[in-house]
Structure 1
Amino acid sequence: MSSGSSELSGGCLCGAIRFRGRQVGDAARCHCEQCRRWSGDTWAAVSVANVEISGDAPRWYRSSEQAERGFCAVCGSSLFWRTIGSNRLDVALGCLDTPTGITLERHIFTAFKGDYYRIADGLPQDARE
């Protein structure tokens, strides 16, 4: 599925945080160093609007002047990325309830990818965004 408007839901590993919202962008895999460190490999996410969070509130870490990352304080699951001041969240694909109907559409920040893997799936690659 490319950018659409389907309803998505998901949560963290321990279930302390649940969320739901509407998909508003395509799914991308980020290869920048911050995302690799944050997720333990690459960060695959989709943009979601009108997000409703239930259960525990996520903890937020301001990772740069422009962005912050949300996670579960109980189990440590990496859940969200957002531009400071935005009402949209990028939500980790791995924490979505299945079936998602989502297909990865592109790779971003590939100029900064790790040296331990190749990108060989034929999807578009953007070196800087």
Structure 2
Amino acid sequence: MLTGSCNCKSITFTVKNVIRSSACHCGQCRKQTGHHWASGLVVDDDLTVSGEVRWYASSDFAKRGFCPDCGSFLFWKMVGEPKMSFSLGAIDGPTGLRLDRHIFTADKGDYYDIADNVPQREN
């Protein structure tokens, strides 16, 4: 089991059974985080959240969850899906995970290279 929190600890969460982990290089994730967003994917029933998450509808098909106090970007959820992504950077302590893939690499910033031999998907 993993535990995580926002920067100010107003929101805490626990995760069981991570499905996969990804680094998203899309323009929205880069703007939200200042770089790419590393996340784990979990079935909704394996994620427990305490505290008030504020949601931002970033598109017609997905929303992003963040702490209204400190602004930490914690969650990404596709509308109607029974799974959610959570921020690997918000995990308290080691994750024991490795990235499984890079996604939306066609949109990555020009200021860095992806050189870790993890599979890449352009969209």
Deviation at 1:19, TM superposition (A): 0.7
Long gaps (5+) in structure 1: 1-6
Residue of structure 1 in register with 2:20 after alignment: 26
SS in 1 for 2:17: strand
Distance 1:27 1:14 in 2: 24
Distance, in Å, in 2 between the alignment partners of 1:99 and 1:114 is 27
The CA deviation at 1:98 is: 1.7
Which of 41, 46, 54 is the aligned partner of 2:40?
46
TM-score normalized by the length of structure 2: 0.93
Q: Distance in 2 between matches of 1:35 and 1:23?
A: 24
Q: Which runs of 5+ in 2 are unaligned?
A: none
Q: When you count strand as a share of all residues, which structure comes out higher?
A: 1
The root-mean-square deviation of aligned C-alpha atoms, in Å, is: 1.1
Counterpart CA distance in 1 for 2:76 and 2:113 is: 24
Is residue 120 of structure 1 aligned with residue 115 of structure 2?
A: yes
Secondary structure at the aligned position of 1:94 is classed as: helix
Paired residues, number: 121
Which amino acid in structure 1 is aligned with residue 33 of structure 2? S
Aligned-residue identity in percent: 48
- Counterpart-to-counterpart distance in 2, 1:120 and 1:26: 20
Q: Which string of whole-angstrom CA distances, capped at 9 and with x for unpartnered residues, describes residues 73-125 of structure 1?
A: 00000100010123321001000122211111211110111111111111111
TM-score (norm 1): 0.89
